[in-house]
A and B are shown apart, each in its own frame.
Chain A
Amino acid sequence: MPHVLVAYTDDEPGVLNRVASLFRRRAFNIHSLTVGPTEKAGVSRMTIVVDTDDQGAARAQSNLEKLLNVQKVENLSIRPSVVRDLVLLRVAAESTVRPEIIQLAQSFRATVVDIATNSLVLECTGSAGKIDALLDVMKPYGILEMGRTGVVAMARGADFFGAQSACTATEALAVNFQ
């Protein structure tokens, strides 16, 4: 089951090495890991998707918290969260099918970021499930190249709108794991 941990770490050399080493040593399977800056200088944010059970996620969290360069860890698996993934997709696009592809892309709110004679590059952001759907739709045209960022996630505000429909990070990602 996918679990999403967000770790706030010191922005220092070697921290990613420590985190990766920890997950490998404790035999956790990292599904995706993204690192980037935060609103605070000197603090990085890692979003780690790990394939484990609830106890495993708790163990991963307490082991992460033990690392001296890790300041705080949130487990978003059980909290209503926004989970986003970004994909760049090069699709084979002869002039005959190009309008069709662009139209389909628009329905996914994907944008065309590059056009060449026989192909185009789409950019799409969204839940992992939406991106999977886009991939399914584009597959028949021929996917020449794909790059995905891995998941970035954030808990929804305590008083967010639409509580009924919101899903947890684990639920949002579950589709990937089916």
Chain B
Amino acid sequence: MRKTGAEIVVELLQHYGVDLVFGYPGGTIMPVYDALYHSGLRHILARHEQGACHAADGYARATGKTGVVIATSGPGATNLVTGLATAYMDSVPLIAITGQVPTFAIGTDSFQEADIYGITIPITKYNYLVKDVAKLAETFAEAFYIARTGRPGPVLIDIPKDVQLASTEYAPVAQADIPLLKYTPEPQYEFDAQLDELVLLLRAAKRPVLFVGGGAVISNASVGIHRLARKLSLPVTNTLIANGVFPSQDPLSLGMAGMHGTRYANEAIFASDLLIAAGARFDDRVTGKIAEFAQRAKIVHIDIDPAEVGKVVPVDLSIIGNLKDVLDGLLAKLEAVDFEPQTKWLGQIKEWKEKYPLTYTQSASIIKPQCVIQTISELTQGEAIITTGVGQHQMWASLYCDHRHPKHFITSGGLGTMGFCVPSGIGAQLGCPDKLVVTITGDGSFQMNLQELATAAYYNIPVKIVILNNGYLGMVRQWQEMFFERRYSETHLEDGNPDFVMVAKGFGLEAFRVTRPEEVRPTLAMAFALPGPVVIDCRVEKEENVWPMIPTGGTVKDTIEH
């Protein structure tokens, strides 16, 4: 059957199981929006392309499905850049579809023309400029396959307007037919011998630590991680985006490692004689001073991406493959082996946990941000999906939430994108309509992309947005306090902040302000029970700092407790 390029785009999205797209129309993407009009494919109109992109990202992280975002050429496309880079850094499967000026106008500095293909090469897993309508079916088949297999990532498809309007015979391409033989997302890596080696290392280890990263979330390896930790009594620490892969209340859990990680996680890594990194990429926020990172340990790196091995830290053994498969293989080998728990090591860890607990100074008169997080966690019993912005509130959310499930803590880890909070909460809520979604943000992050409140209000997306409002760009202020002699250069937001309750109400949301500690719990409980979106402006301690902290390039010995 003959169809136009635009009709083909919409049919392909439906063919590949997309039930929800985010986007913002404009001149060169109008044919696609016209095809959407009668298609029945649900489209969420954001108020800014960046918001649409983060929403698609939040949707993808919460559901494990591929998020889709649509934008027009030029400024529409460039507004996706931060969203794509965010998704790329955290390996989130996204398809971005952009309109482009007609093929005959490309290269002429045409109205709303930007070389989005060239611009996004370094921040996408792959991208396309489709110049022939007959290539659309094949391109989408490849794009979805590339986005969600192997190490996932965003894929951008740039489609000139004349290609959207041209027509061709259309038949969808089955993914098995993809002529993309050069792309082997999960090559048939043999890791049997490496697993034998790992078993030997595990048997010899006296102070082993399992270090879990985002790969464990992506490959659904949570059960395997759990079984491995149980079987070997392995202490488990995690990266920021792996919160929830292993329950944070488990006695074997060390919580998050790194710059703002728990002291006991960092002590354990520092003292370990075997560190097994599972789907983690040794970010500098985790390693600190590389020369002293786990310096006494043999390091084993399990990852699906060979290019990650040895990138930052030299490793003693690498195992390339899907983490879930690797763990299944390892557990099968361990079945016949009896392991004595390393009681001395576990005792040491218990000692560290008692000696260096996560604490903060309580107050009866001022709301402590950590206390708000704990209250959220208690009220939701760790069952809510939490999304965050970036900064102090993000670290407190990571440290003080009770993380029970993977895909329940959605945050921009790699790129550290402020303004990720509200739109990702909207996306997560749309992906998981039966879940309570709580967006924890700061007054700084909230104001980047707060236009998306309109989206939440219009579609009645019941995300609960909690602002830890300290009137500062808190994390930068903390660094200025510590490293720049308290010169708070351009980090004081308070005087310029709008009345967030009035702003939220203006957008059509319910909104509350909380200024006293005793109001926190009842207000949050009441807000969480409301059927629609809510903003809660919590006026918290202004100069609270995130502790513990290892300054840049330091080690656990340099930890500042408070």
Contacts and interface: CB of A to CB of B under 8 A. Distances in A.
Interface of A: 10, 14, 17-18, 21-22, 25, 55, 58-59, 62-63, 65-66, 68-71
Contact of B307 (A10, A63, A68, A71): A63
B311 A18 contact: no
8 contacts: A14-B117, A17-B121, A18-B121, A21-B122, A66-B305, A66-B307, A68-B126, A68-B180
A25 B85 CA distance: 13
A59 B308 CA distance: 8
Given A59-B307, A68-B180, A17 B118 contact: yes
A68 B122 contact: no
Interface string B126-147: 1001000000000000000010
A70 B180 CA distance: 11
Nearest to A25: B122
A22 B122 CA distance: 7
Contact of B182 (A18, A63, A68): A68
B126 A58 contact: no
Interface of chain A: mostly helix, strand, loop or mixed? helix
A21 B118 CA distance: 10
Interface string B88-132: 000000000000000000000000000001100110001001000
B311 A68 contact: no
Interface of B: 117-118, 121-122, 126, 129, 146, 180, 182-183, 305-307, 309-311, 314
B74 to A, nearest CB: 20
A24 B121 CA distance: 12
Contacts of A62: 306-307, 309
Contacts of A59: 307, 310-311
A21 B182 CA distance: 20
Nearest to B320: A62
A58 B310 contact: yes
Nearest to B151: A66
Contact of A21 (B121, B183, B305, B314): B121
A68 B127 CA distance: 10
A176 to B, nearest CB: 27
A61 B61 CA distance: 30
Contacts of B309: 62
Contacts of B129: 14
Q: Which 6 A-B pairs have the closest CB atoms?
A: A62-B307, A62-B306, A63-B307, A21-B121, A71-B182, A25-B122
A66 B91 CA distance: 14
A68 B306 CA distance: 14
Nearest to B314: A55
Given A62-B306, A68-B183, A70-B182, 11 more contacts: A10-B182, A14-B129, A22-B122, A25-B122, A55-B314, A59-B310, A65-B307, A66-B307, A68-B126, A68-B146, A69-B182
A73 to B, nearest CB: 12
B183 A55 contact: no
Contacts of B311: 59
A69 B306 CA distance: 17
Nearest to B117: A14
Contacts of B146: 68
A71 B122 CA distance: 19
A12 to B, nearest CB: 11
A66 B126 CA distance: 10
Contacts of B122: 21-22, 25
Nearest to B311: A59
